[in-house]
Amino acid sequence: MSEDVNARHADKRRKIKAARDKMMETKTEEKGLIMVHTGPGKGKSSSGFGMIMRCIAHGMPCAVVQFIKGNWETGEKTFLRERHAEECRFFVSGEGFTWETQDRERDIAAAQNGWTIAKEQILDPDIQFVMLDEINIALRYDYIDIDEVVDFLLHEKPRMTHVCLTGRNAKPELIEAADLVTEMTLVKHPFRDGVKAQKGVEL
């Protein structure tokens, strides 16, 4: 590489850094965020669990309420219950993905039970981050009332508490209420080619 290229590179970087530093000076507010991970792609729950890892690292007490998964052993449940139970509370309210069950009343009761637990954890002053895993599926089928959830998040959630809600097909009311919404889009998936769900990746 010529010195010229490197000099131009350094100059460009310096300008970008200056612009970024100036922009970051305006980012001063701290508040608990309402975060939504939705879309048909992968990584909605995984990235929530990645944030749980960060919370544990920072000594921030946190909680997970799983709304739909529950029938099978997931890696994250094993990991958090067996290894980090003092730092992260872990609740399961559902009974497997909705297509595994055939009893609507039981699904509704499980979802309502999960929402009761969720509210308790969010209101608990000891807890700084709550992940409501796959709650969007329960909301989509109206097993939990979307207006009640949005009203609670906007008006009863303690100001500094973060809440992360995951699951595809997030309702528009929730997206409207959220501070941060990420949509995971599927570009390519190995299921198409006959590859099954594998430990570490999906389970």
Map the footprint of a copy of itself across residues 43-102, applying CB under 8 A: 43-58, 60, 62, 74-76, 78-79, 83, 98-102
Closest separation in Å from C-beta 66 to a copy of itself? 14
Nearest-CA neighbor of 65 among 80, 54, 50, 84? 80
**How would you label 102-118 residue by residue, b for 16+ Cβ within 10 Å and e otherwise?**
eeeeebeebbeebbebb
Q: Residue 154, interface with a copy of itself (CB under 8 A)?
A: no
Q: Residue 35, interface with a copy of itself (CB under 8 A)?
A: yes
Do 203 and 76 meet the contact criterion of CB atoms below 8 Å apart? Answer: no
The residue from 116, 148, 169, 191 that contacts a copy of itself (CB under 8 A) is 191
d(CA 101, CA 175): 28
Q: Residue 158, interface with a copy of itself (CB under 8 A)?
A: no
Map the footprint of a copy of itself across residues 123-152, applying CB under 8 A: 128-129
Phi and psi, residue 182, nearest 5°: -120, 130
The region of 64-72, 117-125, 147-155, 194-202 touching a copy of itself under the rule CB under 8 A is 194-202
> Toward a copy of itself, which CB reaches closer, 76 or 117?
76
How many residues line the site for a copy of itself (CB under 8 A)? 85
Residue whose pair of structure tokens reads 């039970």 in the numeric block = 113
